[in-house]
Each structure stands twice: as C-alpha cells, then as structure tokens.
C-alpha cells in the first residue's frame, strides 16, 4: 500500500493542491491557434503521434500523475469515512486504483489523437526526430523528476501566495460574514 502522507492535512492546503492541478490542466488544454494543423484523421499523422507518445515519455508522466492522484483521492474518501480508513484503502487498492491504471491504453490513444489534432504530419515527424535525438532522450529521462520538483515548488509557492491573499483580504471576508481557514 502506498504512503498517503500525514492524515491531518488542512483543508486549505488540499484545496490549493486541487486548485494548482486544475490550473495546470486548464493551461494544458488552452485552445491552440487556428494556424495549427488538424490532421487527426490522417493515418500517417496518427502513426507518428502514437510513436511520439511512446518515445516522449508520456506514459511515464501519466503514471506519475496517477501515482499522485491516487493518494489524494484515497485521502478525500477517507476523510468522508472517518474511522474506516482500512476499508477505504482496501477498496481503493483492490478496485479503484487498478481501474484507473487500466485506462492507460485509452489515455495513450487519446494523447496520440490530441497530438495529431494539433500538429501537422511534418511537425510530428520533427517532434519524433527531436525525441530520438540525445537531447530529446535526456528530456524524457529528466522530465518526470523535473515535474516533481516543479510540483513541490508550485505547491509551496501557491500555498504561500494564497495564504498571503487570504490574510490581506480577511476583512473583506469578515464584512460578508465569512470565515477564512487561517
């Protein structure tokens, strides 16, 4: 069973982590310019996109995201079921997390479709060439660790900024009869 970290995390920290994840997801899904190609139906584009997903380390990054999501989801369910942590852990480990992991091939396929939608066949070929180069291979090796470092920094910095903002506008919350978690 994976370590779920301290069980006494505060709600504001958890909300900030979810907010940070939502912001990252939103940034990753911002619509791209109309000038970018829409070759999602082209078999050559799809083949190149699938190759790109494979060599670019996408599966490793997705696994890392799932590894981070599992404990957060488990913790949320445990908080909704106090005193039943063992039962929650069992259901999560035996059923929910394996079901999520089983979706990996679908995620990989959807990722390939996304690449094929946003890049031309020529651009996909160039990306494949980059990821096959020594610097591209280094990027695939270093990126998961870099993302983990960025995540840690973003979490700490995001919490600091959010707490500073809450403190700065505590009077505005009080005027409206609201309480802040700090």
Q: How do residues 132-161 score in pLDDT, each as one tens digit?
A: 999 999 999 898 888 888 888 888 888 888
Q: How do residues 33-68 score in pLDDT, each as one tens digit?
A: 433 445 567 899 999 999 999 999 888 878 878 888
pTM of full prediction above 0.85: no
Residue 103 has pLDDT above 80, yes or no: yes
Whether 77 and 118 have beta carbons less than 8 Å apart is answered as no
Report pLDDT for 34. 37
Report pLDDT for 64. 78
């Amino acid at each position: 069973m994976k370590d779920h970290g301290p069980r006494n995390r505060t709600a504001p920290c958890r909300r900030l982590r979810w907010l940070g994840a939502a912001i990252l997801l939103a940034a990753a899904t911002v619509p791209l310019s109309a000038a970018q190609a829409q070759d999602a139906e082209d078999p050559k584009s799809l083949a190149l996109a699938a190759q790109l997903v494979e060599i670019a380390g996408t599966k490793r990054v997705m696994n890392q995201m799932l590894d981070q999501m599992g404990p957060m989801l488990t913790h949320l369910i445990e908080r909704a079921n106090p005193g039943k942590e063992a039962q929650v852990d069992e259901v999560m480990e035996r059923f929910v997390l394996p079901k999520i992991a089983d979706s990996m091939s679908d995620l990989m396929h959807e990722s390939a479709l996304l690449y094929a939608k946003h890049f031309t066949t020529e651009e996909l070929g160039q990306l494949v060439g980059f990821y096959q180069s020594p610097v591209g291979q280094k990027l695939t090796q270093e990126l998961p660790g870099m993302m983990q470092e960025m995540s840690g920094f973003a979490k700490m910095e995001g919490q600091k900024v959010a707490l500073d903002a809450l403190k700065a506008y505590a009077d505005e919350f009080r005027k409206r009869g609201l309480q802040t978690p700090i």
